[in-house]
Structure 1
């Protein structure tokens, strides 16, 4: 039987957020273990206390989980990749520690693929950030007052640009349900703009930007 170690990362603010709270992560990992016939040998819960959480010395529970996994030859399992890290450099260091990682949202990804997902997510964030800054600079150059409305418009423009970058990948599979499209994108190793795995809600918003505002509601009803 495969032995796994559950690693959960939460913060006071995230406890109540859907998909990020302690119980949600525990449930995801428990389902993963049951589906794969694995035994959960231990659970480590990290509570963020502030910035710098991607430094291993600031995450003693992750350090303990790594030591435990090496000792018993277990795989460390997290619910989502961002619960492990959002930082490419830190993630690369983790993948080189001779411990296998699994992400429930990306069950077929190995350490190498997880590293690629982190790199792609970072690149996408950089692209969106650059486009947002460029849009704000252009608005300022036109004499626009940069308030919440201008920022929202810049963010919307960046989101639309990200959607357009996926048009050639998504349009050929629009005949599928939004859940099937989410699985398709995850299997191809394509992350969302924030570096997470795709879900039906993400796909619906993506298709909204490519096909029109009413599609999400229609697709959700048909899924």
Structure 2
């Protein structure tokens, strides 16, 4: 996994591939999956969903170059670890287990929090020294920009939510002949929520699959 900027340059992905080739040169690799997406949220990572499905089918180990390339969210990383029954390895953490995964993710979360605090503090000092940080546009000062932004976010959330990545995972597992109930268990283990925030049931999985098929026609 790599950010778009890293993916455009090829440096991020090449470096990650080099790590894995170095540590796993003597081990068979079933497949390679590449997401040029942010690691902040696993739900917009279709290739990761495919990798998880393959690991479930083959009882294989998911290998990542660095643990922060898997996810930047502690809860999501632990959900993946549980879904794979511990079959998760990272080149930067020897002998990865639940304790070390939780510890490393918590440290990363704390570092991001400190960076945010430092950035906010720097902006506050800038305002104190120079006055207003930047002059707001007319749309901003009148509140029109906020209303437009809110409407856009609401529309995108209604359109996408978690339905799109959930549909991708459902389609992948359905092709492997998983039952609706088994797919529902996979979605719930991966942290997916229904539009109302609940857990998936077999009938909801089937409806989402059929709706995705209808939209594709």
When normalised by structure 1's length, the TM-score is 0.50
Tell me how many residue pairs correspond in the alignment. 132
Classify 1:131/1:78 alpha carbon distance in 2 versus 1 (closer, same or farther; 3 Å).
Answer: same
Per-residue CA deviations over 1:126-162 (Å, capped at 9, x if unaligned) read: 1232133234324433556759xxxxxxxxxxxxxxx
Give 1:112 deviation, angstroms.
Answer: 3.1
Q: 2: distance between equivalents of 1:139 and 1:80? A: 35
Give 1:12 deviation, angstroms.
Answer: 4.1
Q: Which has the larger radius of gyration?
A: 2
Q: 1: distance between equivalents of 2:117 and 2:33? A: 37
Q: 1: distance between equivalents of 2:92 and 2:120? A: 31
Q: 2: distance between equivalents of 1:142 and 1:10? A: 38
Q: Secondary structure of the residue that 2:34 maps to in structure 1?
A: strand
Assess if the C-alpha contact under 8 Å between 1:95 and 1:115 holds in 2: no
Q: Secondary structure of the residue that 2:29 maps to in structure 1?
A: strand
Give 1:47 deviation, angstroms.
Answer: 2.9
Runs of 4+ in 1 over 4 A off after TM superposition: 142-147
Alignment of 1:103 with 2:90, yes or no, is yes
Which residue does the alignment assign to 1:66? Answer: 52
Assess if the C-alpha contact under 8 Å between 2:39 and 2:72 holds in 1: no
Q: Secondary structure of the residue that 1:128 maps to in structure 2?
A: helix
Say which of 121, 124, 127 aligns to 1:140: 127
Give 1:61 deviation, angstroms.
Answer: 1.5
Give 1:76 deviation, angstroms.
Answer: 0.6
Q: 2: distance between equivalents of 1:71 and 1:13? A: 32
Q: 2: distance between equivalents of 1:69 and 1:120? A: 27
Which residue does the alignment assign to 2:179? Answer: none
Say which of 72, 80, 86 aligns to 1:94: 80
Say which of 23, 27, 34 aligns to 1:45: 34
Q: RMSD over aligned Cα, in angstroms?
A: 2.6
Q: 1: distance between equivalents of 2:23 and 2:60? A: 15
Per-residue CA deviations over 1:59-100 (Å, capped at 9, x if unaligned) read: 222112112112222111111122111122321221221242
When normalised by structure 2's length, the TM-score is 0.52
Say which of 25, 30, 33 aligns to 2:24: 33
